[in-house]
Amino acid sequence: MPLDPAPLNSLGLPKSPAETRVVVAMSGGVDSSVVAAKLKDEGYDVVGVTLQLYDHGAALAKKGACCAGVDIHDARRVAEEMNFPHYVLDYENIFRDAVIEEFAESYLGGATPVPCIRCNERVKFKDLLDTAKDLEADCMATGHYIQRKMGPHGPELHCAEDRNRDQSYFLFSTTPEQLDFLRFPLGHLPSKAATRELAAQYGLAVADKPDSQDICFVPDGNYAAVIEKLRPGSVEPGEIVHADGRVLGTHNGVIHYTIGQRRGLGIGGLSDPLYVVRLDVETRQVIVGPKDMLATRVIPVREINWLGDAPFNSQKEWHLAVKVRSTRPPREAIVRPISETEAEVELLTPEEGVSPGQACVFYDPESTRIFGGGWIWRGH
């Protein structure tokens, strides 16, 4: 008689936790620390890996700015407290080539990039995932707030239980192959408070560590300073021009502005509020206009990663909900495939401040499932 297959463990694998090796991507923050501690507590063979992605001292040309070192120390301390091996991998060159360089180019090209997505796509879920396989791991776990659920066609990506913490916008480019290997043990938790409670329960020193808010290599939110360092002399002054052609003032560089910006334009004395409606890198002009000029209905999207069950271009159109900014709720839209990786997205209600360089993420309007997404390029 054939033996019954082994029951699945909590990570959905048919073996005991002790026989299941899990590489945990540890950033030094409370989320990934709790994932590592929880899996170790459940009896898994845990290996912690922390990526050194950048040197703050070099990035900002000032001493004592190395908070990356603190994060590595915190991750190592959790591994010592919970008694599992921990490795630090130097990914500075990979990170610079795959994320920071494009970030600078994108900003200088008048776009508003989202480097966290590129980091997940090109570093964490690519190179680090390969490293996890080299370490003979059965899967890799992260502290992201998103859920992986088994569907009839294989693993599916779903929003986190706590919608306020949901990180689906930053993970839309996760491929089906990566999803096979990834696990997100925090996605079902009701709140961040529940994560901190677990950290306290495991006695972790990072239980009260504050969340990081900024892009990791731009710790004070000053993008322009980082780009000036990366591309000396590339930030040139130009004119602030009204959409009707009037020159209203001057600026110190297009990179200081984003689509939809109203404050800090430095053009006072006008009766109606004006917003940045377009950035023209060629002529170095910041074009401003009234709020109604910001409304966008049709968005071109490319580099699409599709997570639906049927092929993306097997239908003329998909009726989905889409998110065009991480802070906005999904809105109803019609997604019309042009090719396997390009589409035209028509919003049923126009959105303001849609910017090239941001992601357009696809959601099932009927459930919590994520159908992937793509990158917004030139606006119409």
Residue 62: inside a domain, yes or no? yes
CATH number at residue 337: 2.40.30.10
Please check whether residues 170 and 53 belong to one and the same domain.
yes
| 78, β-bridge pairs | none
Structural domains of the chain, count: 3
Predicted local confidence at residue 126, as pLDDT? 93
How far is C-alpha 19 from the geometric centre of its chain's CA atoms? 32
User: Are the C-beta atoms of 276 and 287 separated by less than 8 Å?
Assistant: yes
How far is C-alpha 149 from the geometric centre of its chain's CA atoms? 20
Predicted local confidence at residue 163, as pLDDT? 93
Please check whether residues 45 and 175 belong to one and the same domain.
yes
Please check whether residues 92 and 196 belong to one and the same domain.
yes
Please check whether residues 354 and 313 belong to one and the same domain.
yes
Residue 259: inside a domain, yes or no? yes
CATH number at residue 36: 3.40.50.620
Please check whether residues 123 and 35 belong to one and the same domain.
yes
Residues 6+ apart with CB under 8 A from 233: none
Please check whether residues 261 and 336 belong to one and the same domain.
no
End residue of a domain, out of 250, 268, 289? 289
Query: Encoding tokens for residue 312?
Result: 């993306």
Predicted local confidence at residue 61, as pLDDT? 43
Please check whether residues 22 and 167 belong to one and the same domain.
yes
Please check whether residues 240 and 365 belong to one and the same domain.
no
**Residuewise pLDDT in 10s, the chain (380 residues):** 556 667 899 999 999 999 999 999 999 999 999 999 999 999 999 999 999 987 655 444 443 334 467 899 999 999 999 999 999 999 999 999 999 999 999 988 888 889 999 999 999 999 999 999 999 999 999 999 999 999 999 999 999 999 999 999 999 999 999 999 999 999 999 999 999 999 999 999 999 999 877 788 887 778 888 888 888 888 889 999 999 999 999 998 888 888 888 888 878 767 788 999 999 989 999 999 999 999 999 999 999 999 999 999 999 999 999 999 998 899 999 999 999 999 999 999 999 989 999 999 999 999 999 999 999 997 44
Query: Encoding tokens for residue 254?
Result: 């297009």
Domain span at residue 276?
236-289
Predicted local confidence at residue 367, as pLDDT? 97
Predicted local confidence at residue 20, as pLDDT? 98
The catalytic site residues sit at: 119, 216
Residue 230: inside a domain, yes or no? no
Residue 223: inside a domain, yes or no? no
Residue 225: inside a domain, yes or no? no
